[in-house]
């Protein structure tokens, strides 16, 4: 059954961060807009000098021809002959010697593809990023994004050695996925990638950051199928944190409000039963918190006025709870002048 998502701005869900970004997206070959924003909820902040610097001339990369057109032919011939190392150097030399030539973009793309074919995936990803950064209007933008996504997925699922050791930190892999979203904030892959980023945050026990990613997805892409998954996953993280920090009443209330709002917007959510169970569990926790607080004023602090105020608040909010009759009786006693309990 196809999942339906109500068209709604999920900023209404307990006032999560307001989205004010103007979007950029990848278009057909040779046409692409620049970054609209570098701020994404739950992503690592970018350093001010994080833009990839342009490659400079180097003693280690000398050209073999007098023109970029001739140089790229030399590089392509070396690659065709299987001389991969010298081909890479020839492409690099062209990029550094003639960075503004049309052949420089071709050479950069060829270099990244060559590295990818050789299984040098991390280096290939970085070279594709250099291509997007410096030659965005002169490359098949969507194809490059697809290649970056494919590489990032490979690194995510093949991140252990034969001995079971992690080859790269999950932070490094997550940052590659974040870069792809920044490259095309309105791209068709963005919602799927944001789910991946959230799952990596969860695997690292960074639940607050995962919630920010999932709710960012809900705000930005409320009509997508991934928004359905994001609502459930955000609710799951909020529930886990509220239970773990059971003393934190505001966190518990926020979790309940989020789940309630999500189910109002998605009344046929496929995980509605589980989300409703979480909401009931957290409501019971909230009732217990408020009851124990009122009892504390009554029995520990022995503050009659504070106890009466707490009991009244309890009855206003939880009039049908299993503590209600007991609280009414005790409130009536206090209002008749009874002393605090010992």
pLDDT of residue 161 exceeding 70, the answer is no
Contact indicator for 197, 213 with CB cutoff of 8 Å? yes
Per-domain boundaries in the chain? 271-342
For 136-160, what is each residue's pLDDT tens digit?
Answer: 999 999 999 999 999 999 999 987 6
Average model confidence (pLDDT) across the chain: 87
User: pLDDT value at position 49?
Assistant: 62
Convert 304-318 to b/e letters by CB count within 10 Å (16 or more is b). Answer: bebbbebbeebbeeb
Q: Is 24 left (phi over 0), alpha (psi -120 to 50) or beta?
A: beta
Contact indicator for 104, 130 with CB cutoff of 8 Å? no
Closest by CA to 286, choosing from 332, 327, 242, is: 242
For 20-75, what is each residue's pLDDT tens digit?
Answer: 322 333 333 333 333 445 588 899 887 666 678 999 999 899 999 999 999 999 99
Contact indicator for 258, 274 with CB cutoff of 8 Å? no
Q: What is the pTM for the complete model shown?
A: 0.81
Tell me how far apart the alpha carbons of residues 5 and 268 are, in angstroms, rounded to a whole number: 9
Contact indicator for 215, 236 with CB cutoff of 8 Å? no
Side-chain-facing half-sphere of 158: CA atoms under 13 Å: 9
Q: How confident is the model at residue 252 (pLDDT cuts 50, 70, 90)?
A: very high
The distance from CA 9 to its chain's CA centroid, rounded to whole angstroms, is: 18
* DSSP helix/strand/coil, 160: strand
Tell me how far apart the alpha carbons of residues 292 and 171 are, in angstroms, rounded to a whole number: 41
């Amino acid at each position: 059954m196809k999942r339906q998502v109500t068209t709604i701005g999920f900023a209404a869900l307990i006032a999560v961060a307001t989205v004010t970004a103007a979007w950029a997206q990848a278009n057909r070959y040779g046409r692409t807009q620049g970054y609209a924003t570098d701020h994404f909820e739950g992503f690592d902040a970018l350093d001010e000098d994080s833009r990839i610097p342009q490659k400079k001339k180097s003693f280690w990369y000398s050209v073999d021809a007098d023109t970029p057109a001739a140089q790229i032919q030399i590089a392509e011939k070396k690659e065709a002959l299987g001389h991969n190392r010298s081909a890479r150097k020839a492409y690099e030399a062209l990029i550094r010697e003639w960075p503004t030539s049309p052949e420089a973009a071709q050479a950069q793309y060829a270099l990244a593809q060559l590295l990818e074919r050789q299984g040098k995936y991390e280096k290939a990803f970085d070279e594709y990023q250099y291509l997007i950064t410096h030659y965005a209007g002169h490359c098949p933008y969507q194809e490059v994004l697809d290649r970056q996504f494919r590489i990032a997925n490979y690194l995510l699922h093949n991140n252990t050695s034969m001995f079971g050791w992690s080859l790269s930190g999950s932070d490094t892999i997550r940052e590659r996925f974040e870069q792809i979203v920044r490259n095309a904030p309105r791209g068709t892959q963005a919602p799927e990638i944001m789910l991946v980023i959230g799952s990596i945050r969860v695997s690292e026990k960074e639940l607050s950051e995962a919630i920010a990613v999932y709710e960012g997805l809900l705000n930005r892409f409320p009509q997508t199928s991934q928004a359905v998954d994001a609502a459930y996953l955000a609710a799951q993280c909020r529930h886990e944190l509220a239970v773990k920090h059971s003393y934190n009443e505001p966190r518990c209330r926020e979790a309940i409000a989020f789940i309630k709002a999500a189910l109002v917007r998605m009344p046929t959510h496929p995980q509605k039963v589980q989300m409703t169970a979480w909401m009931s569990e957290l409501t019971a926790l909230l009732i217990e918190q408020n009851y124990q607080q009122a009892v504390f004023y009554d029995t520990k602090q022995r503050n009659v006025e504070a106890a009466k105020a707490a009991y009244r608040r309890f009855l206003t909010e939880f009039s049908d709870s299993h503590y209600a009759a007991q609280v009414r009786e005790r409130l009536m006693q206090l209002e008749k002048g009874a002393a605090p309990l010992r």
